[in-house]
Amino acid sequence: MDWIGQYNYYVVFFLMMTGFYVVVARGNLVKKIVGLNIFQSSVFLLYISMGKVDEGTAPIIVAGEAIYSNPLPHVLILTAIVVGVATTALGLALAVRIKEAYGTIEEDEIHEQDDDW
Amino acid sequence: MILDNLPALLVVLPLLGAPLCLLLSRGRPAWVVATLIAWTVLAISIVLLWQVRAGGVLHYAFGDWEPPWGIDYVVDRLAAYVLLIVSAIGAVVLPYSWRSVSREIPARLHAIFYTLLLLCLAGLLGIVITGDAFNLFVLLEISSLSTYALISLGRNRRALTSSYQYLIMGTIGATFYIIGVGLLYMLTGTLNMADIAARIASMEGSSTLHTAFAFIVVGLALKLAMFPLHLWLPNAYAFAPSVVTAFLAATATKVALYAMIRFVYTVFGPAFTFGEMHVQLLVLPLAAAGVFIGSVVAAFQHGIKRMLAYSSVAQIGYMLLGIGAMSVTGLTAALLHLFNHALMKGALFLAVGALVYRIGGSRLHEIAGAARDMPWTMAAFVLGGLSLIGVPGTVGFISKWYLIQAALENGWWPVVVLVLVTSLVAVVYIWRVVETAYFAERPADAPPVSEAPLVLLLPTWVLVGANLYFGIATGLTVGLATDIAVGLYAGGVAP
């Protein structure tokens, strides 16, 4: 097993768990979004890593090159990045509206303000 | 010509209608466009179901790129069955929406509201019809993002926090799903569901496959609000505008459940799911806990919307129990309940929407004595409630009947008891509403109310009628659900 050669996957899972932890553990709504972004970025890296072919160049046809990296994961991740940007934008917009409505973006302070239904 | 392109039009029409609504920028024309599109989509769904009723499968290769390279839209009986219920709910909810929305949402947001609703509809229909695992993710996010925005349009400021909470949990779910799809792609080099299914058949014991399965199932379980991943659901339903609640309760979780069934049965196959991954060991206890806790918590709620939302958690538990039963009868029960629950919750939430329209709220003390002034609305609620309880003659009875049969086949007496007991708890929480609305005195300082307008009553009663019709004429739903279940278990299941 080539442990060093898989270092990008270690990075992926480190980022994934970091992001996930931030989303779960932080009470600040903007920090949660940051965590969510780290979490999603790790998935982008996962896809990009799997698209890499040993010795392969960028997937553009040029004379003298026979091996190319797999372009499909790149395309998929372009889509996923767009989705991620939209999610971030919506999340931040909601955080702004919450700030306007409650005067805070700390989760526990928001819960204090709402009477129980 | 048109007939060949129906699978694509089903998704493309609402997707094109959405920007059109935005460009119209005024509420009423946007509503007319959205309603016409919803009806057209329903007609398309009916035609598609008719075409595949005998068991055929329609394929539509987008841009003429042959699968597995291009995106393949696949309509089989399962897809057509779910398409029918989703588009039917859309077609019923949209005519209702105009009056309700003009009361609950500021006028400048009306066009945006219909834009979002069409986007959500397009996403949900797309999830059902697509045969491509990554395309499913994109459509899942289209429907989810529009859902978050729709929920945040609620009047109470807690709609914002509910929407935010759903955004976080929904995005984690979708990202888990996409991790799973990525691992499957690493393993097989394809994203086409049928192609994945064919290639993983010989890969038993691969730990990558196990991990991919776990990520996909947990991700979808978050979207379908499986207990204990349901935390986003009660608030989202309680604080969203009434129309949105009715639409989401009847479609969104059902479509996520459909995606789960699609992966469990056609991509991974029941033999792998139950024989190698032993999913039933996880799903059964969680489903049972969801059924019990959802029902009991519902009985303690003060707001009707929140009560019905917790009841939804319980109903999703019933569907998962059906899947966990690992038999044709169990899956039939799950599919029946998927269809029937959409009808009953749709009817109930539309009735609640009519209450909100006249009274301004739907908490128990607000609707005290309302039945005298709003007899038709409350009668619809009562009939929907009876269906939720599972009284014979309504659809709720049919699906619970099959679920109990499935449990008996496996000799699972505790499950039978659970279903019966939780049905009794449903009697309790429906009765609390009925008691308050029929027998309590209207508060002295409450403003006078009158019956809800016909445009709200008619769609509500259409769904109530469907509850009664499909409760008696079970040929279409039971026949179709049984055929689908037999087809999905055709590969056999290792005990």
Compute the distance between CA of residue B243 and CA of residue B104 in angstroms, rounded to an integer: 9
Distance set, CA B327 to CA B178, B290, B419, B477 (Å)? 29, 21, 18, 18
Under 8 Å between Cβ of B258 and B74: no
Q: Is 80 exceeded by the pLDDT of residue B149?
A: yes
The pLDDT of residue B366: 85
The pLDDT of residue B401: 92
Q: Copy the structure tokens of residue A59.
A: 């997937």
Phi, psi at residue B303, to the nearest 5°? -100, 135
Under 8 Å between Cβ of B135 and B126: yes
In a domain, B75, yes or no: no
Question: B421 — contact with chain A (CB < 8 Å)?
Answer: no
The pLDDT of residue B465: 93
Compute the distance between CA of residue B252 and CA of residue B311 in angstroms, rounded to an integer: 15
The pLDDT of residue B495: 37
Angle at Cα B479 formed by Cα B473 and Cα B485, nearest 5°? Answer: 140
Query: Which residue in chain A is spatially nearest to B178 when comparing CA positions?
Result: A43
The pLDDT of residue A78: 92
Nearest C-alpha neighbor of B256 from the set B291, B212, B210, B225 = B225
How many CA atoms lie less than 13 Å away from B482 in the CB half-sphere?
Answer: 9
Residue B363 DSSP code: B
Q: Is 50 exceeded by the pLDDT of residue B462?
A: yes
In a domain, B367, yes or no: yes
Contact B161 A110 (CB under 8 A): yes
In a domain, B36, yes or no: no
The pLDDT of residue B494: 42
Compute the distance between CA of residue B77 and CA of residue B81 in angstroms, rounded to an integer: 6
Q: Which of B148, B164, B182 sits opposite A98 (nearest CB)?
A: B164
Question: B208 — contact with chain A (CB < 8 Å)?
Answer: no
Q: What is the mean pLDDT of residues B41-51?
A: 93
Mean per-residue pLDDT over chain B, rounded = 90
Q: What is the mean pLDDT of residues B117-123?
A: 95
Q: Is 60 exceeded by the pLDDT of residue B492?
A: no
Question: B431 — contact with chain A (CB < 8 Å)?
Answer: no
Compute the distance between CA of residue B171 and CA of residue B176 in angstroms, rounded to an integer: 8
Domain count, chain B: 1
Q: Is 70 exceeded by the pLDDT of residue B293?
A: yes
Query: Which residues, numbered 267 to 326 in chain B, qualify as contacts with chain A under a Cβ-Cβ cut-off of 8 Å?
Result: 301-303, 306
Q: Which of B137, B152, B158 sits opposite A94 (nearest CB)?
A: B152
In a domain, B476, yes or no: yes
Per the structure, the complete domain to which residue B445 belongs is given by 278-495
In a domain, B352, yes or no: yes
Distance spanning both ends of chain A, measured CA to CA: 56
Q: Is 80 exceeded by the pLDDT of residue B303?
A: yes
Spell out the per-residue pLDDT of chain A, length 117, in tens: 577 778 888 999 999 999 999 999 988 999 999 999 999 999 999 999 888 888 888 888 888 878 888 888 989 999 999 999 999 999 999 999 999 998 888 888 888 887 655
Nearest-neighbour CA in chain A from B303: distance (Å)? 7
Helix runs in B27-76, H state only: 27-52
pLDDT tens digits for range B234-274: 999 999 999 999 999 999 999 999 999 999 998 988 888 88
The pLDDT of residue B493: 52
Query: Which residues, numbered 343 to 372 in chain B, qualify as contacts with chain A under a Cβ-Cβ cut-off of 8 Å?
Result: 363
Which residues of chain A lie closer than 8 angstroms to B306, CB-CB?
117
Most A CBs within 10 A among B112, B148, B161, hence the mutation to make, goes to: B161
- CATH code given to domain A4-113: 1.10.287.3510
In a domain, B347, yes or no: yes
Question: A50 — contact with chain B (CB < 8 Å)?
Answer: yes
Q: Is 80 exceeded by the pLDDT of residue B327?
A: yes
Percent of the residues in chain B that have a pLDDT greater than 70, as a whole number? 99
Query: Which residue in chain B is spatially nearest to A101 when comparing CA positions?
Result: B157
Q: Is 90 exceeded by the pLDDT of residue B42?
A: yes
The pLDDT of residue B1: 66
Query: Which residues, numbered 128 to 157 in chain B, qualify as contacts with chain A under a Cβ-Cβ cut-off of 8 Å?
Result: 134, 137-138, 141, 145, 148-149, 152, 157
pLDDT tens digits for range B356-415: 998 888 888 888 888 888 889 999 999 999 999 999 989 999 999 999 999 999 888 999
Nearest-neighbour CA in chain B from A62: distance (Å)? 23
Contact A39 B175 (CB under 8 A): yes
Query: Which residue in chain A is spatially nearest to B159 when comparing CA positions?
Result: A98
In a domain, B421, yes or no: yes
Task: State ipTM.
Answer: 0.93
Which residues of chain A lie closer than 8 angstroms to B182, CB-CB?
43, 46-47, 50, 73
Q: What is the mean pLDDT of residues B282-303?
A: 92
In a domain, B256, yes or no: no
